[in-house]
Every structure is written in structure tokens, then in C-alpha cells.
Amino acid sequence: MAIKTPDWVKHAVFYQIYPDTFARKVPPHQKWLLDVPLEDWDAPPTFQGYKGGNLWGVIDKLDYLQDLGVTALYFTPIFRSASNHRYHPQDYYAIDPLLGDREAFDQLLKTAHDQGFKVILDGVFNHASRGFFFFNDILENGPNSPWLDWFKIEGWPLSAYDGSLPANYVSWIDYRALPQFNHNNPGVREYIMQVGEYWLKQGIDGWRLDVPDCVKAEGFWEEFRERVKAVNPEAYIVGEIAFDATQWLDGKQFDGVMNYPFGRLTAGFIVGDGVDKETIPHFYEPYETLDAEAYAKGIEELLARHPWEIQLTQLNLLDSHDTPRFLSIAGGDRTSAKLATLLLFTFPGTPNLFYGDEIGLEGSHDPDARKGFPTEDKWDKEALAYHKQLIVIRKKYPALCTGTYHALYAKGNVYLFARILGEEGVMVAVNNGEEKAEITLTDFEKVPPISNKQPSAIVYGQGSINWQKDQLKLSIPPRSGLILAE
């Protein structure tokens, strides 16, 4: 079977929005709904408080996002839920009222599409919440509920709130707030499939799937793919799997996963011993300090795991709502964040920015990484500038989107690779050391576009290059990176 993934994803730049803390706007006609008591926007985020960000606020920020250069928006959950992160779904067919209800969503989707953005939503299909109607009916009616087999009831009475008593039902990671679906129940299965189809028919461009590895029912994700692709063959299906996702990336299930292994490797190389170990979550364990050679080996193994068609639609990232900000992992070292971002935007797959990374937002453990998007006077303008520059470069050179990947040099603190597409060759070099690096490259047999065209323009970063026949001498300043193109 030939593997097919969405072409648009390979050329996209994603921006992940956490709606509660990204932007807020209250239109006059919804003042009654949205003008409610909230946490102070600039106060540290909490587990249960709401900042009140909404979809009207996102609409208001679309011009900013267009100017930044991103082309696709990934929203963490927006369905009705009694939690600020909304991973406790109560109704899969209703937009949370605090986000502006269905009216705000419809306007957002139309405006985003009109401005050229793709939109993907977060599907929490492994578990529901205590407030989900079918489970709530069980809480109200006990053994008389018609929905018993939708979940995994193990005994009576159920204890949904009192932790001193057995819950008597299966929940995600034993967290009784999140009762787990019985995915072997045909009704449950069909319900989730129809939810997936419904929102695609409303116009969304794909699904990010929350903890899909926890769904053990045979053939579930294969059927989900078939149903989704029947509605929109170019819909993007990306799973949240933080470890080796080979079994889900066979071309029959997901188009890609959130590429946490790339983030771990890049942190190991760029941050190394400088990591703030207090921030490291389970996504980054075990943590390893890597030199360029070990980084190159890790990248080679990562690229070899999956078919190339899948690799080009991996969702690459340095951080997310579930991890500390990369800048905080790096102990606040902005140079490390800049170098890692260079690698993010030149690696095969689609880059994903977590909101605020582009303006230097910091944040430690959840929920600290989910801070309110700051006012412009608090932005790191240099970070914003290099993000914009890297996005422009990625769009300009197709090789950075779909070109093959060739490691050219990996020693000490210096790593250099090429992306090749047809006759186009782009070279990327990173010197993570504290001293200027002087290197000489001669072996370009595997990358003839480099030897034939001899790219000599430094389109990003600083340094000096000197071609002498088929030999390239490269000088790279300390703690810096550059991109060479024709």
C-alpha cells in the first residue's frame, strides 16, 4: 500500500493555541455570557481558575498570526468542559460558552480560512468527564442507566468525587474525573466516529488526537482514519504520542505524531548540561547531554523509524502545553532557544510553535507554561524577528519542506546538514560551542546540488564561507547557526 499524507501539511507552519490564555475579546452582544469573574490575566495560571481567553480574541489576533507567517492553527480542546484546559469534555458537539459558543467558532473558522489558515481541533476520544451526559446518567441512575456499557463499571456504588472510596470505574491514569470509554462498545465507537466526521463536515482541516495510545480496541484508529479521509482526503490526523510511535505510523492510522523525540534530542544537544533539571517533565526523561556526533546519530535513528512520507508530516516541536517552555528548560538562555528554533524550522516535518514562544514567553511546570499572552511591551522583539525570518526562509526554499536530509559534519559542538530537493540544496550549520568553529568540508558525493551549485549566500545568521573547487571552508561564530543557499 502506498502511504499518502496531506500535501499541505508538508508546507505548513503550525501555531498551537491554548484558548484560555491566548487572547480575550468580549463583543457587546455576548457581554452577558463572557463578562464573568476571572483570574487576572497577568497572574500566574492555576489548575482550576479561568483567564477567559476566547475565540473572539483569536479572531482579533489573526492579523498578528498572518504577519508572523504561520499558516495552520492547532487548538487545544474547545468543546464544552468544566476545566480551563478543556480536556474534560462534557459535550463533543458544543463549543464551550466561555469561548463564545458556536457563533464565535463559526466566525473564527470562516475568517481563518478566508485568511489562508488551516484549522485543526483537539479530539479527546479516550475518555470523557463526570459531566459528560452518558456518564452523568450513570451517576444519577446507577445500575438502571442504559449507558452502563459505555464505560468500564467495576462495582457499586460509584464514587466520582470522594477519593477515600473506590471509584469503581476505570478512568484515565486512575484520575476519577476522567472516566474512560469502553471502545469495544459499538455505540461508543460509532459515537466517536460521527463526532470526527461532523466537525470535518463543518470545515475543520484535521484532528490532533489526545493520548490515542490508550485506546486499545482493535482497528479503532484504522476505522477513524477511513471515516475521516472519506470526508476530507486531505484532513490531517496527528496523534499525541511522546515516545516511539512506529506502530501508529504505518500509513493506516495517523499522518504523524507530536514529535517529542525531536525536542528531546535537540534539548540534549543545544542545552546539554545547562538544562534546568527542575523543569524536566516525563516527556524529556531520560535526559541525555549530547555532543554533535551523538545528536547526529539520534537524528539519523529518528528519521529511519518511519516512512519518508510520514516523516514529512510529523508535527515537530520544542515544547507544548504539556511541557515547560523550551526557554525555561534552557534556564532562560535565549541563545539556546534561538539555536533550537533554527533546527526546528529546518528539520523534515512541519514545525509547530506553542503560542508565545515567538516572543520569548517563559514557563515551568504545568500550569506555569500556560501563561496569559503578554502585552507588546513585554515581548522579546529579537525572538519575534528571528522567528519571522526563519518562517520566510522555510517558505522560500521548498527543500526545507520536502527535501531529503543529509548529515554532512558532526564533531564536538558543530553540526551541519543539507536539505536537497531536485537541483536545490540548502545547508544548515550550528556551532553550539563557546569558540569560533573553523571547518573544511570536501565530501559532497551524496549531495550533488551542493557541489554543483556551491551555495554561497548566507541567508540566515553570520559567518564566512570560502569555496575552493569542491572544498568548502566555513567559519561559524560561537553559539550561533547559519543557513546557506544559492
Residue numbers annotated as active site: 210, 240
Q: Are 185 and 134 in contact (CB under 8 A)?
A: no
Residue 483: all three cell numbers together: 543557513
Report how far residue 387's alpha carbon sits from residue 217's, in angstroms, rounded to the nearest whole number: 41
DSSP 65-96: HHHHT--EEEESP-EEESSSS--SEEEEEEE-
Q: If you ran DSSP here, which 8-state letter would residue 142 be given? A: G
Instruction: In whole angstroms, give the CA distance from residue 461 to residue 253.
Output: 39
Of the candidates 359, 316, 371, 390, the residue with the CA atom closest to the CA atom of residue 64: 359
- Answer for the pair 430, 415: CB distance below 8 angstroms, yes or no: yes
d(CA 298, CA 304): 10
- Distance (Å, whole) CA 324 – CA 283: 10
Beta bridge partners of 419: 405, 426
272 closest CA partner among 481, 476, 433, 482 = 433
440 within 8 A of 467, measured Cβ to Cβ: no
- On the CB side of 223, CA atoms within 13 Å amount to 14
Q: How far apart are the C-alpha atoms of 142 and 155, rounded to whole Å?
A: 10
d(CA 37, CA 93): 26
